[in-house]
Each structure stands twice: as C-alpha cells, then as structure tokens.
Amino acid sequence: MTRLTRRHATELETISVTVPAEAVEAYEDALAVVCTTIGIFEMDDSQLFWRVEGVRDAGYGEVELTGALALAAAVTGHGATLDRTRTEAEGWLARTYESFPEQTVGQRFAVRGTHLDRSVSSRRITITLDAGVAFGSGEHGSTRGCLRALETVAHRRPRRILDMGCGSGILAMAAAALLHRPVLAIDIEPWSVRTTARNAELNGLGPLIDARLGNGWRTPGLSRRAPFDLVFANILARPLCLMAQDLALHLAPGGTAILAGLLNSQAGMVLAAHRRQGLVLERRLNEGDWTTLVLRKASSPA
C-alpha cells in the first residue's frame, strides 16, 4: 500500500475507529495511508472490540483515507465510523510517549521506545523501537505470544529462520538477538520492509536482518533459502490456512512454525489446516483473546 508524502504539520488530528478484533489489521493499514503513527487499544476486558487510532496532519489525504476505509470495510465485512479530534502537536508527542512504556515479555525480552533512558541496564534482550511506530511494539497479544513461543524453542538452535509478514521486525530482531543467526524478513507492505530495516539498524542487528518486499511464499529467491528451521507467521487466521501447504513444503524436517494473529476461536481452524499438511501441535499459548500455535514437522526417518 502506498503511503503519501508527508508535509509540515501546523495542526494535528487524531482519527480513530472501533472495530472487532478480526478487523483490526485491515483498519490499521487503512489509517496508515495518512497517519505517521498507529496505536491499537482494547476497549474493555473482553478484548472483542479495539480502537485503532492514528495521528495525521489535520485534513491531510482525505480522499485517500476515504478509499482506504472503504477497502477495509469491504475486505473485513465490518464498517466503521471515523472519529476525529484536533490535537496539539506538543500534547500528542507527550501522550505518545506516555502510551509506550517499556514492555517486558516472557523471561528474556523487553521492548522499549527510543524516548526512554537507554542507559538503564537490563538482563533482558532489549529491543528498541521508535515511539511513533506503535504497531508491533510488544503490546499486542499475538506479538507477545510469538516472543514467548520463541523462548520455548530457542534450545533447538535453529539456523535458517524466516519471519513471514515481518511488520515492525520485532520477531526477526528477537530471533536474531537471541540466537545470533541471520533472519529473512518478508512483508507485502513496502512501509513494513523499510521499518524493519530501520529498526534492525537501530538495534545493531542490521547485518543479521535481510528485510525484503515480497508476496508470501511466492517471494523471489525465498525457495533458495529453504528449508527453514524456524518460521514465524504472525498474520491472520484465513491467510494462515491458505498458506499451510506452502509452509509445510518450506519447513525443514524437525522444523518449527510459530503461528499467530488469530483469535482463540480461530485456533482450531488454523490447526486443522496445518495438521492436514502433516504438522503436529507442540504448544498452544494464549494471551488474552489471542492464540499462538507452535507446530513442528516430523523429522526424516533414520
């Protein structure tokens, strides 16, 4: 999806929509057409509805935004009303920083914004992200589930690693930092590829992260890097089901797949699609309303 060229902001506007969990990603992409930063906030403890919020120059890209929202509604089947609030630039920056505190995940990871004091020592592997990049910040249940799952399989020391749908690059960076291995990171969105590359450099992981623009398993050159010992796919339930056969074909014997981006209610559907391809459920992790599946391919016969 093409992002518009920014102009200098004299006044900012916060725009937001409230949508069901399964429509969050599509509306996040829609707001990102005109917004510099996107935040996702749960509306209540049920985690059934979420507010997707972005900040833009007041009135900027109205035609493009209207089209992107219409596309999100068509793709998800969920229409949404756009709320607008004028925001002073200084006040917005302070609020952005306040809404992005350090996130500790599992036993080994911490995710911190660039606005926080970097001199604070930590025994955790710390991943630093720009506070303006709200997606993939470690707050979402699917991201947290993937990081926890990575901890459980790290002892296998996978050598060939793929992050399919890399977003901010947080999973690719976590794997590279923990395992000291190169990671191929692929996304269909040019903005995500650029963000992943920028974040990798910020964290001193640039040499280990190969961020590439591509369309899933049809990405040029991907097959030459296979088979993979570890694959992350933090996407959505239906695409995961459609990609099950390709995932199994590109996964090494004994290899592990960490699948996320699915609600608890969708886990059975995703698991069934991958079981039909010979993958076995090793572990299921829940973070609120979100499920992460850890699957494994059988080893080759002796």
Domains of the chain: 12-87 (3.30.70), 139-297 (3.40.50.150)
Whether 187 has a binding-site annotation, put simply, is yes
Q: What is the pLDDT of residue 24?
A: 84
Residue 269: what are its φ and ψ, rounded to 5°?
-65, -45
Whether 169 has a binding-site annotation, put simply, is no
CA separation for the pair 285, 110 (Å, rounded): 19
Q: What is the pLDDT of residue 134?
A: 41
Amino acid identity of residue 245, one-letter, is: Q
Tens of pLDDT, residue by residue over 45-104, are 555 788 888 888 888 889 999 999 999 999 999 999 999 988 765 555 555 555 556 778
User: Which of 252, 188, 237 shows the shortest CA–CA distance to 217?
Assistant: 188
Whether 165 has a binding-site annotation, put simply, is yes
Whether 143 has a binding-site annotation, put simply, is yes
Chain-centre distance for alpha carbon 175: 14
Confidence of residue 130 (pLDDT cuts 50, 70, 90): low
CA separation for the pair 161, 257 (Å, rounded): 10
Concatenating the DSSP letter of every residue in the chain gives -PPPPP---SSEEEEEEEEEGGGHHHHHHHHHTT-SEEEEEESSTT-SEEEEEEEEETTTTHHHHHHHHHHHHHHHS---PPEEEEE-HHHHHHHHHHT---EEETTTEEEEETTS-TT---SSEEEEE-TT--TTSS-SHHHHHHHHHHHHHGGG--SSEEEES-TTSHHHHHHHHHH---EEEEES-HHHHHHHHHHHHHTT-GGGEEEEE--GGG-TTHHHHPSEEEEEEES-HHHHHHTHHHHHHHEEEEEEEEEEEEEGGGHHHHHHHHHTTTEEEEEEEEETTEEEEEEEEPPPP-
Q: What is the pTM of this model?
A: 0.69
Better-predicted residue by pLDDT, 120 or 39: 39
* Beta carbons of 212 and 188 less than 8 angstroms apart: no
User: Which of 140, 146, 180 shows the shortest CA–CA distance to 163?
Assistant: 146
User: Which of 65, 84, 94, 88 shows the shortest CA–CA distance to 10?
Assistant: 88
Tens of pLDDT, residue by residue over 206-218, are 999 999 999 899 9
